[in-house]
A and B are shown apart, each in its own frame.
Chain A
Amino acid sequence: MADHKNHAGHAEEHFREKHLMLDPLPRGQMNDMVMESMHTTSWKFWVVFAILSAIVGYGLFYSWGTMIAEGLGIAGVNRPSYWGIFLVNTVFWIGISHAGTFISAILRVFKAEFRRPFTRAAELMTTFGLVQAGFSVFMHMGRVWLAYWLMPYANQRMLWPNLHSPLTWDLLAITTYLLSSTMYLFLPLIPDLAMARDRSTGWRKTFYKTLALGFRGTEGEWAHLRNAMNIFAFAIIPVMFSVHTIVSWDFAAATRPGWNSSIFGPYFVVGALHSGMGAVIMVLAVVRATMKHMKYFIRPEHFDAIAKLMLIISMAWAYFFFNDYMVQWYGGDKWTHQLLHFHEAGPLGWMWFAMLIFNIAIPWAVLWNQKWRSTPWIVFIVGFFINIGMWFERYIIVPISLSINRMPFTWRMYEPGVEIPLGIGTLAFFILLYMGASKLIPLIPVWEVEEGQMAHELKKFGRETVVSVSELE
Chain B
Amino acid sequence: MIKRLIDWLKQPLGLIAVGIALLAVFSFAAYGISLTQQPPEQPVQFPHQTHVAFGIQCLYCHPGAAKGPAAGIPSQAKCWACHNQIAKTETSLLLAPLKQAVLSGQPLEWVPVAQVPDFVQFNHRAHVAAGQNCENCHGDMSKVTIAENPQVFNMGFCLDCHKQVAGDDHEKLVKLVDCGTCHY
A and B touch in the complex (CB under 8 A): yes
What is A's interface to B at a CB cutoff of 8 Å?
A: 155-158
Complex CA distance for A157 and B157, rounded to whole angstroms: 9
Q: Which of B77-116 contact A (CB under 8 A)?
A: none
Contacts of B157 in A (CB 8 A): 156
Complex CA distance for A155 and B157, rounded to whole angstroms: 12
Q: Does B156 belong to the interface (CB within 8 Å)? A: yes
> Can you name 11 A-B pairs with beta carbons within 8 Å?
A155-B156, A156-B154, A156-B155, A156-B156, A156-B157, A157-B154, A157-B155, A157-B156, A157-B159, A158-B155, A158-B156
Contacts of B154 in A (CB 8 A): 156-157
Not counting A156-B154, A156-B157, A158-B156, a sample of 9 additional A-B residue pairs whose C-beta atoms are within 8 angstroms of each other reads: A155-B156, A156-B155, A156-B156, A157-B154, A157-B155, A157-B156, A157-B159, A158-B155, A158-B159
Chain B, Cβ-Cβ closest to A203: B2
Complex CA distance for A155 and B159, rounded to whole angstroms: 12
The 4 lowest CB-CB distance pairs between A and B, nearest first, are: A156-B156, A157-B155, A158-B159, A156-B154
Count contacts between A and B, CB distance < 8 Å.
Answer: 12
Min distance, Cβ B167 to any Cβ of chain A, angstroms: 17
Min distance, Cβ B22 to any Cβ of chain A, angstroms: 25
Min distance, Cβ A108 to any Cβ of chain B, angstroms: 40
Chain B window 144-172, contacts with chain A (Cβ cutoff 8 Å), 1 for yes, 0 for no = 00000000001111010000000000000
Complex CA distance for A182 and B155, rounded to whole angstroms: 38
Contacts of A155 in B (CB 8 A): 156
Contacts of A156 in B (CB 8 A): 154-157
Min distance, Cβ A419 to any Cβ of chain B, angstroms: 30
Chain B, Cβ-Cβ closest to A155: B156
Complex CA distance for A158 and B156, rounded to whole angstroms: 7
Contacts of B155 in A (CB 8 A): 156-158
Contacts of B156 in A (CB 8 A): 155-158
Contacts of A157 in B (CB 8 A): 154-156, 159
Chain A, Cβ-Cβ closest to B2: A203
Min distance, Cβ A202 to any Cβ of chain B, angstroms: 11
Complex CA distance for A266 and B152, rounded to whole angstroms: 51
Q: Which of B129-147 contact A (CB under 8 A)?
A: none
Complex CA distance for A157 and B156, rounded to whole angstroms: 5
Complex CA distance for A78 and B113, rounded to whole angstroms: 41
Chain B window 19-63, contacts with chain A (Cβ cutoff 8 Å), 1 for yes, 0 for no = 000000000000000000000000000000000000000000000
Complex CA distance for A156 and B159, rounded to whole angstroms: 9
Chain B, Cβ-Cβ closest to A156: B156
Min distance, Cβ B95 to any Cβ of chain A, angstroms: 41
Complex CA distance for A156 and B154, rounded to whole angstroms: 8
Min distance, Cβ A153 to any Cβ of chain B, angstroms: 14
Complex CA distance for A232 and B155, rounded to whole angstroms: 43
Min distance, Cβ B160 to any Cβ of chain A, angstroms: 9
Min distance, Cβ B173 to any Cβ of chain A, angstroms: 13
Complex CA distance for A127 and B157, rounded to whole angstroms: 42
Complex CA distance for A157 and B160, rounded to whole angstroms: 10
Complex CA distance for A52 and B155, rounded to whole angstroms: 46
Contacts of B159 in A (CB 8 A): 157-158
Min distance, Cβ B139 to any Cβ of chain A, angstroms: 19
Min distance, Cβ A20 to any Cβ of chain B, angstroms: 42
Complex CA distance for A156 and B151, rounded to whole angstroms: 14
Complex CA distance for A161 and B155, rounded to whole angstroms: 17
Min distance, Cβ B5 to any Cβ of chain A, angstroms: 15
Min distance, Cβ B34 to any Cβ of chain A, angstroms: 22
Min distance, Cβ B181 to any Cβ of chain A, angstroms: 14
Chain B, Cβ-Cβ closest to A158: B159
Complex CA distance for A398 and B84, rounded to whole angstroms: 72
Chain A, Cβ-Cβ closest to B155: A157
Min distance, Cβ B71 to any Cβ of chain A, angstroms: 24
Complex CA distance for A157 and B159, rounded to whole angstroms: 8
Complex CA distance for A137 and B156, rounded to whole angstroms: 30
Chain B, Cβ-Cβ closest to A159: B155
Min distance, Cβ A36 to any Cβ of chain B, angstroms: 27
Chain A, Cβ-Cβ closest to B157: A156
Complex CA distance for A157 and B154, rounded to whole angstroms: 8
Interface hub of A155, A156, A157 (most chain B Cβ within 10 A)? A156
Min distance, Cβ B117 to any Cβ of chain A, angstroms: 13
Min distance, Cβ A209 to any Cβ of chain B, angstroms: 15
Min distance, Cβ B85 to any Cβ of chain A, angstroms: 47
Complex CA distance for A199 and B156, rounded to whole angstroms: 58
Complex CA distance for A193 and B156, rounded to whole angstroms: 50
Chain A, Cβ-Cβ closest to B156: A156
Min distance, Cβ B180 to any Cβ of chain A, angstroms: 15
Contacts of A158 in B (CB 8 A): 155-156, 159
Complex CA distance for A156 and B157, rounded to whole angstroms: 8
